[in-house]
Chain A
Amino acid sequence: MSTNSLTARALERSASRDLHALRSLSRRGLAGLLLAPVFVAVSLAGAHAAPCLAVSQPLLKIPELVSNKGVLRGTVVLTDEQRRLIFRSPGKTPGQPGSFFDCQPQRVRAFLGLEAVPKVRPSPGGIIDPFPGPTLRARVGDIVQLTFVNQIDPNRFPYSIDQGEKRGISGVAPNPATGCDVSNPGNPQAGYPLMGADAFPDCFHGSSTGNIHFHGTHTNPNGTADNVLLEIRPSPRDPASREPLIKPETFKRQFADFFKACEARLRGDVFSTYPQTWNDAPLGPYTTAGTWTNQQMKLLQDYDAKTKESLWAANKKVIDQNLWPQYYIGAYPYCFQLPQYTQGNWPPPPGGLQMGQSPGTHWYHAHKHGSTAINVSNGMTGVFIIEGPYDDALNAFYGPGWTRQQPVMVINQLGVSPNLFRTPASQGGPGAGSQDKGPDFTVNGRFQPTVDMAPGEVQMWRIANTSGRSGAFFGGFAPGLQWMQLAQDGVQLADENYQASKNKSFLLASGNRGDFLVKAPMTPGIYPVLVQHAVDPTDLPSANPVVLLQVSVRGNVPPARGNRAEFIKTAPPQPPFLKNITDAEVASTISNPRVIKFASSPPNFPVPAPGTQRSYAMHTINGQKFDDGKDTAIPVTLNAVEEWRIENWTFGPLISHPFHIHINPFQIVDVFSPNQTVVNANGNTVPKYVFYNNPAPDPAQCYLDPNDASTWKDCKAVSDPSKPRIWWDVFPIPPGIGATDAQGNPIKGANGQQIMVPGYFRMRSRFVDYAGQYVLHCHILAHEDRGMMVLVQVSAPGKKIDPTVYRHH
């Protein structure tokens, strides 16, 4: 999607430089790209440092939970575990020359799949290296039945259990920030959050509370499905042994009965949102002793008595409105369907599914507001492969079972806590230090792993960028490697887009996925795959290319033959519900789209008055942070089809906030990126948009009238509605720009302030099949935790839910 001009040749030179840097500058760390899986001794003088696992490890096979007979069953345990993490210093940015690496045993929060296979064995010395949560593999139409168990010991991390109800911990004076995590260099009046402007619940907090967002699923957003308002607190612990009292088998009987009932309901009605209340059997009624909801009520009451919180009261308020409550202790049963669209064409007959679940590469991750960034960086992410006719078509070409043998790649920026926890030097702290552009990417928990390929072989790579911050820009693979894109964000491309994708650069922003066919060259050797970390295209000119992984084309295996050496000729046919959303469908909103405004203000903006507190950058949607008991939800009528304009009122530093909305994918109609540059006829790079001279001084440019917002668009855009559009569930919003004249002076409006022009994209989506409350947000997850999120409330006519009923902490 990006048009960055880094060429493969430039990347090749960069790769050489990068490898050289790694080899020559790793004082104790990763000694360059070694092919043999050897261990490099590091930090001999350190007390805790463990030797880093050498680069070039074989790509880790992630354990899988696979559906059987139409049901994906399994147990996902959220636990804390000591794993070996890589840290970079002194480089603030990945790949920065002069950086070196160190590995330390760090306690992280992690998803484990109890029944998932193959098991990940510890590395030599018994050290556990990071690995993602289990890959979930199901098929459209399947029922998902996952037992989720939270066994985190919150005391092994800085105090972070939710405390919104308490509004205070001893030693910290009550103020709007109370309830947030606290970090300071010994002065309680410095550090996070007191010296900033973060206020509960839009601050880092609650990182031992768990839930799962099934990112990319088109399903029920309520109850036991893709419900991110759930908060599942850790199991209580035995006072003596410190072992969790709630185990995977604790509610086995109740959950088995529920899963059986749930499957029957969902098989009978694909629109079912069962269970809807705590009185629904067999999980309830909560007033009946022995039911799961009754036991949850008691657990919550015990929890409240110990912590002085009021989770049971919050639940009771919701229960009394016949709604599904949000607070739980220790364990939770996820049960929902991946709806299968069975019609041969679109639109469907009245009353039928408007969409189905798209088969493709989806994913899941922690989504507790206030701790998504920390939990995702700890590694609480995994891939959710949803198979369907798409896989059948690929297997028909490449051979039976081929898609299940292909690499799954989970990119992440593994770390332990947000940079804002490092107190700035101006406040007497050590400063953000290194890594303030985030840690380096890993793939399946490994640094620069190796993918083996036979000469000429075509593989299908399912790549998910699960990192909470950086986009991964693939400017070009190593010369010799070729690729074609099959799917974006778990939704397969139309053949026309597939054919046009060959060897094109692409960006996977935080949350994006892509399925790619990658063809190895015939010549044995090592071929690095390079990426650049970016949160905005303007990052790219200075972003260091880094090795994401490398392909080892083996000389000791015969070359691939037949179809295994070919790109599939045509992309698998798309399901009929993926047809373009037409102008006619959005006729009611096309001339007056709903406008969603994302905005980041830089630190200390506006400049604080003398003697007042320092502020951090602020991140808002429609001028507000995520609400807590306020009615700011975006109301949408069930089965409406709408066009929205998603604006970015961020002007510096430039950030392309990755827009993400749950439940329904969307199509991009046009993109306006006012900071974009173009190469003109003379070969010079010039701004694409100017606010002076009409027409623009260069034919490659567009003139924007600073006083006429209707001109703020791409004058070169050519929209052909007959062309198939790509479906996304994450798309970066281009940042805005201040209008300037030919001399670079601000152009001011009637109010005397510089005229600011937002970047935007227009998108269309079908809000179909499932009503309920869910969210849209920035997928730079620290922004989401700090408020850049808003509820979307999809309601059937006359059935609006009170958006203030749920709390969001």
Chain B
Amino acid sequence: MPDWSIKIVSARGKSGVRAKFKPDIVGSKPGKPLKVVTGDLVSWNNTTDKEHWPWPVASANAPPLDPTPDGNVLVSAVIKPDSASPAYNVGAPAGTTIFYCCKLHPEERGQMIVVEFGQ
């Protein structure tokens, strides 16, 4: 099954968001959701000069809770600048949207949409 990397890239917009999540796929744009299939592996590549920590949240705008309701996380530790996270193994079924934000900067938001194989 496929593997994916999501870049954490510096953002220069006026929104106050200083970093965005960008699927590392040619042609993809910052903020675009990553479509995954159950079983895929995902890692985050911190290209910024700040630490970040992708953290699952209940919905697009929900705050990060620690511990999470089910105890599971996406990445077990902060991702230091110029480094990558271990692999997160997508276990959610198709039809699920995995919302996440940076635990350290909750305004930085991302999504993974779990689709059926071939979609």
Contact = CB atoms under 8 A, between A and B. Distances in A.
A, B assembled together:
yes
Interface of A: 27-29, 42-43, 45-49, 82, 85, 87, 89-90, 100, 102, 104-107, 126, 154-159, 169-172, 181-188, 191, 239, 242, 416-417, 421-423, 428-435
Interface in B1-59: 1-3, 5, 23-26, 28, 32-35, 38-39, 41, 43, 45-47, 56
B118 A27 contact: yes
Contact of A158 (B2, B35, B87): B87
B70 to A, nearest CB: 8
Given A90-B117, A156-B24, A172-B76, A47 B35 contact: yes
Nearest to B46: A155
A183 B47 contact: no
Contacts of B38: 430, 433
A539 B118 CA distance: 28
Contacts of B25: 48, 82, 105
Given A155-B46, A156-B5, A171 B77 contact: yes
A434 B116 CA distance: 13
Contact of B71 (A27, A89, A102, A187): A187
B85 A158 contact: yes
Contact of A239 (B82, B88, B91): B82
Contact of B118 (A43, A47, A126, A183): A43
What DSSP secondary structure best describes chain A's contact surface? loop
For the complex of A and B, 8 pairs with smallest distance between CB atoms: A171-B77, A186-B72, A182-B86, A171-B76, A47-B35, A158-B87, A183-B87, A158-B43
Contact of A421 (B41, B56, B84): B41
A185 B2 contact: no
A100 B116 CA distance: 12
Contacts of B33: 47
A155 B3 contact: no
Contacts of B88: 183-186
Given A242-B47, A416-B2, A421-B41, A87 B117 contact: yes
B113 to A, nearest CB: 8
A167 to B, nearest CB: 15
A154 B76 contact: no
A184 B89 contact: yes
A249 to B, nearest CB: 25
Contacts of B115: 45-47
A172 to B, nearest CB: 7
Contacts of A156: 5, 24, 45, 84
Given A159-B84, A417-B87, A430 B39 contact: yes
A432 B117 CA distance: 14
Contact of B84 (A85, A89, A155, A184): A155
B61 interface: no
A159 B34 contact: no
B3 A46 contact: no
Given A90-B117, A156-B45, A191 B23 contact: no
A107 B1 contact: no
B91 A430 contact: yes
25 contacts: A29-B118, A47-B113, A48-B35, A49-B118, A87-B1, A89-B117, A89-B118, A104-B2, A126-B26, A155-B47, A158-B85, A158-B86, A170-B78, A172-B76, A172-B77, A182-B86, A183-B86, A184-B88, A185-B72, A187-B72, A188-B76, A416-B41, A417-B3, A429-B89, A432-B39
Given A28-B118, A45-B119, A416 B3 contact: yes
A47 B35 CA distance: 6
Contacts of A105: 25-26
Contacts, number: 152
Contacts of A45: 115, 119
B58 to A, nearest CB: 14
Given A155-B84, A158-B87, A434-B1, A417 B35 contact: no
Contacts of B46: 155
A47 B6 CA distance: 14
Interface string B60-91: 00000000000111111110001111111111
Interface of B: 1-3, 5, 23-26, 28, 32-35, 38-39, 41, 43, 45-47, 56, 71-78, 82-91, 113, 115, 117-119
A48 B86 CA distance: 22
Nearest to B83: A155
A307 to B, nearest CB: 10
A155 B83 CA distance: 5
Nearest to A105: B25
A172 B77 CA distance: 8
Contacts of A106: 2-3
A645 to B, nearest CB: 40
Nearest to A306: B82
A435 B82 CA distance: 33
B5 A157 contact: yes
A433 B89 CA distance: 12
B3 A428 contact: no
A241 to B, nearest CB: 11
Contacts of A87: 1-2, 117
Contacts of A434: 1, 117
A438 to B, nearest CB: 12
B2 A431 contact: no
B22 to A, nearest CB: 12
A239 to B, nearest CB: 7
A434 B37 CA distance: 12
A569 to B, nearest CB: 51
B112 to A, nearest CB: 10
A171 B85 CA distance: 11
B77 A158 contact: no
Contacts of B26: 82, 105, 126
A422 B43 contact: no
Contact of B39 (A47, A107, A431): A431
B6 to A, nearest CB: 10
Nearest to B56: A186
Nearest to A428: B91
B118 A417 contact: no
Given A28-B118, A159-B84, A183-B88, 11 more contacts: A45-B119, A46-B35, A158-B43, A159-B43, A171-B76, A172-B76, A187-B73, A239-B82, A428-B91, A433-B1, A434-B1
Contacts of A184: 86-89
A155 B89 contact: no
Contacts of B89: 183-186, 191, 421-423, 429-430
A435 B41 CA distance: 15
Nearest to A28: B118
A734 to B, nearest CB: 32
A524 B2 CA distance: 39
Contacts of A159: 43, 83-87
A42 B86 contact: no
A27 B115 CA distance: 15
Contact of A155 (B45, B76, B77): B45
Contacts of B28: 48
Of A154, A416, A422, chain B has the most CB atoms within 10 Å of the CB of A422
Contacts of B1: 87, 422, 433-435
B76 A185 contact: no
Contacts of B45: 155-156
Contact of B90 (A85, A90, A154, A430): A430
B60 to A, nearest CB: 17
A90 B38 CA distance: 12
B118 A181 contact: no
B91 A423 contact: yes
Contacts of B35: 46-48
A186 B86 contact: no
A90 B88 CA distance: 21
A85 B4 CA distance: 13
Contacts of A191: 89
Contacts of A157: 3, 5, 43, 84
A184 B74 CA distance: 9
A576 to B, nearest CB: 50
